[in-house]
Amino acid sequence: MVAEPCIHTFSIVAHDPAESSWGVAVASKFLAVGAVVPYARAGVGAVATQALANLCYGERGLELMAEGLSASETLARLTAEDEAREHRQAGIVDSQGRAATFTGSACMPWAGGLVGEGFAVQGNILAGEHVVRAMADRFVSAQGELAERLYAALLAGDRAGGDRRGRQSAALLVVKPGGSYGGFTDRYLDLRVDDHPDPVPELGRLLELHHLFLGASRPEERVPIVEPLIRELQRMLKEQGYWSRDPDGAWTPEFEQALSAFVGTENLEERVHIPQRLIDPPALDYLRKRFMG
């Protein structure tokens, strides 16, 4: 038998056609909400399952959309097959950005949702309807990539009162083709705050770190690692024990080896392009602040 945790929460599912991405953002007075509510698959869609959550809605919903059903058709099929549907709440967005939301009549008030172009927001045991409206308004007005817009919507819902029982966890899941570290899977971003007194701002901090370590600057923004910067990096490397010589500004095999080891330790291999002798500005700023005061 599948466990059915009662997830009183607020969430948003959305699609960004410009970056071919799908995602879910969620927060709740519930331990590790990210392990239960969000599901997404690149090229297919995203699902949030909550209230007396039927976890089968996640994978089953993705399977139905992969077979060609729209978000509304998928949600109709899921609820039709579920005898306890009036206790369920779900939001779905499909491969084309068509969205749907469902709130069963037995969900605890305030409970409901709304649909916009490319997204759906929903929640239960909320401070009021204004929570989901604040989320929708902020998602529409927010700038940046899908992850930032989803987070902006979640933060707006949190500031509007969110789950009226309190705060405990939050999560952000975004998928896109080849979006993972190294490009091996579609899981571009999967951040979770499982137990925290103020989880949504903490999730925002993790999002900033994700962009620092795993983001990418445009090629024209990258900084050449030439003589003055080599000296600076050599001083940094010497202070951290990776380089024993006096800084001389020369790119040598020994310097390249030391720099590679340092970059790997700091998890900046996606930001420092050693064969091209280039570094992304956010990585350089981070290193200067962290190691040069």
Q: What is the CATH number of domain 6-214?
A: 3.60.20.10
Q: Locate tokens 């399977």: which residue?
A: 63
Mean pLDDT, range 82-106, rounded to an integer: 97
Task: Tell me: pLDDT of 225 over 50.
Answer: yes
pLDDT of 293 strictly over 70:
no
Please state, in angstroms and as integers, the Cα–Cα distance from residue 4 to each residue in 1, 59, 194, 206, 287, following that order.
9, 15, 18, 29, 46
Buried/exposed code over 129-162 (b: 16+ C-beta within 10 A; e: otherwise): bebbebbbbbbeebeebbbbbbbbbbbbbbebeb
Looking at 158-167, 218-227, 234-243, 252-261, which range is the least confident one? 158-167
Q: What is the pLDDT of residues 95-121, one digit of tens each?
A: 999 999 999 999 999 999 999 999 999
Report whether pLDDT(127) > 70. yes
| pLDDT of 55 above 50 | yes
Domain ranges in the chain with CATH number 3.60.20.10:
6-214
Chain-wide mean pLDDT for the chain? 95
